[in-house]
Structure 1
Amino acid sequence: MAIDVEVLRVFTDPEGNHGNPLGVIDAATVDPGDRQRIARELGYSETIFVDVPDTGATTAHIRIHTPATELPFAGHPTVGAAWWLRENGLPVRTLQVPAGIVQVAYEDDLTMVRARSDWAPEFAIHDLESAEELAAADPSDYADDAHHYLWTWTDREAGHIRARMFAAELGVPEDEATGAAAVRITDYLSRDLTIVQGRGSVIHTVWSPDGWVRVAGRVVNDGRRTLD
């Protein structure tokens, strides 16, 4: 049976460029045992399966899969899910993921989620000296048994950084925009950040000393594809 997949790009820049592709599937249309296979075939860094809530509901359940495994939490899938639900007339206040309850908010063209830093996986954080060193980094030079987050300041006073993320063990040699890593680096630096990752994706974060981080970004819809 053909499966409809809506394709979003999450964490675009203000002009709608860049962003991390996300596959969105109505969970009712697939068998749970097929989710990992479908995510692998689609090949996006993450694919989400949404239990579409009833009209007026304030929460929705989602499951998140990379091409290689299921994740208890991830940032760009939760931001994408919250945006997709509002676009379909179903704005929610919370998302239920295996890690816990993600709070949701909307402000103009930004969709925001709030999550705990310890929900995100551990990252090997590499503080590089310059944007040139960051651009020259080769994913093959980093061990494939860890998530590697490379970053450098572009404007320390304003809280602006440039970043890249390699996660071969998740089936993602390089991730274009990583909300979970944004949560970790925000907590690590203990300050609000504007992160430009990959080719030019943009992630905004707000730090709280109690371990919660708000992650915000823009989303665009690239249309629908069908998986046979």
Structure 2
Amino acid sequence: MPRPRARTFAQVDVFAETPYFGNPVAVVLDGDDISETDMVRVARWMNLSETTFVVTPTSDKADYGLRIFTPGGEVPFAGHPTLGSAHAWLKAGGSPSATTTLIQECGLGLVEVRCSDAGLSFRAPELLREGPLEPAHLDRIAQGLCITRDQIIAHQWVDNGPGWAAVLLGSAAEVLAVEPDERRMNELMLGIVGAHPEGAPLQFEVRAFGAPAGVPEDPATGSLIAGLAQWLIGSGVAPREYRVGQGSRLGRAGVLTVCAEGEQIWVGGNSVTCIRGTIDL
């Protein structure tokens, strides 16, 4: 067994306007030559929503490759690890081939990350699955959320890799009031969304539940927000630019921004490095 060596490491708080109130991601910045078995082991030990490993890309169009692991295993794409890893890579001296955009290669393919004075944002990937949810699946969701079917205003598949389904409730207050049955929720990858009153600083409130991540509820979820944006903007429920709150039921205060430019949708937010150093792997 090869001897461990010190590798550059950072832990980044993503979608946090105040540090330690967003969603942390652990980033191993020198991920080449780490076995998949060890990546899984480290992700479980970190016990965060995601742990990432920056690796040499296979595409000459990419600035770096990224492998993303939850405590339950590898996922092809996730939003907050994308932005947190880009933030850590840039802070560690990474230099994108383009001035204002870097290209990340992950299991889903190539993902654009835009760098601006307002921070980092990623281009929402194409949906792998869309359209209304099946009646049986909708019944499972209502049972898991402990709500009635008529409380669900609209529903949609918004899967861009992790497998997201989504339901729209009557208001942000209804979203925050949900007390799910965790046993039933373990079978779902689900986002719930509701609108705040007009004039509020945030336009929507979101909660994310997903067993594959190994955590009952995620505090700030870029992939879900990206899928929701494609649905909500496309159906006229949301404006082309808005802000989303997530995580307050968990004692967090995540804020995510959505901006539609032509056919492209960008999801962003603030990132800050909270821990930096090395990890022996």
Contact 1:50–1:63 (CA under 8 A) maintained in structure 2: yes
| Distance in 2, Cα, partners of 1:140 & 1:3 | 42
Residue 169 of structure 2 is matched in structure 1 by 128
| 2:247 is the counterpart of 1:198 | yes
1:182 aligns with 2:186: no
Distance 1:218 1:103 in 2: 17
Please give the per-residue CA displacement for 1:42-77, whole angstroms capped at 9, x wherever unaligned.
Answer: 111010000268xxx961101001110211111111
Contact 1:7 1:21 in 2 (8 A): yes
1:8 aligns with 2:12: yes
More strand by share: 1
Q: Given that residues 114 and 122 in structure 2 are in contact (C-alpha distance below 8 angstroms), is that contact kept between their aligned partners in structure 1?
A: yes
Q: Which residue of 1 aligns with 2:86?
A: 82
Of 58, 74, 77 in structure 2, the residue corresponding to residue 73 of structure 1 is: 77
TM-score by length of 1: 0.86
Which letter maps to 1:81?
S
State whether residues 15 and 23 of structure 2, in contact with CA within 8 Å, keep that contact through their aligned partners in structure 1.
yes
For residues 98 and 36 of structure 1, the distance between their equivalents in structure 2, rounded to whole angstroms, comes to 15
Q: Tell me how far apart the structure 2 counterparts of residues 221 and 60 of structure 1 sit (CA, whole Å).
A: 19
Q: Distance in 1 between matches of 2:116 and 2:261?
A: 19
Matched, 1:99 2:148: no
Please say if 1:45 is aligned against 2:52. no
- Contact (CA 8 Å) 2:15, 2:254: kept in 1 or not? yes
The amino acid across from 1:180 in the alignment is S
2:15 is matched by which residue type in structure 1?
F
Q: Does 1:217 align with 2:269?
A: yes
Q: Distance in 1 between matches of 2:197 and 2:124?
A: 25
The equivalent of 2:236 in structure 1 is: none
State whether residues 12 and 272 of structure 2, in contact with CA within 8 Å, keep that contact through their aligned partners in structure 1. Answer: yes
SS at match of 2:188: coil
- Of 20, 25, 34, 1:22 maps to 25
How far the C-alpha of 1:155 sits from its partner, in A, is 4.5
Distance in 2 of aligned mates of 1:22 and 1:34: 17
Over 3 Å counting, the alpha-carbon distance change for 1:33 and 1:109 in structure 2 is same
Q: Distance in 2 between matches of 1:80 and 1:18?
A: 14
What root-mean-square deviation, in Å, do the aligned CA atoms of Structure 1 and Structure 2 show?
Answer: 2.5
Count of paired positions: 223
CA distance in 1, matches of 2:162, 2:199: 28
Structure 2 residue aligned with 1:169: 212
Larger radius of gyration: 2
CA distance in 1, matches of 2:186, 2:226: 21
Q: Which residue of 2 aligns with 1:147?
A: 189
The residue that corresponds to 1:59 in the other structure is 63
The 5 A counterparts of 1:99-118 are 99-118=108-127
SS in 2 for 1:28: coil
Counterparts of 1:110 and 1:222, CA distance in 2: 16
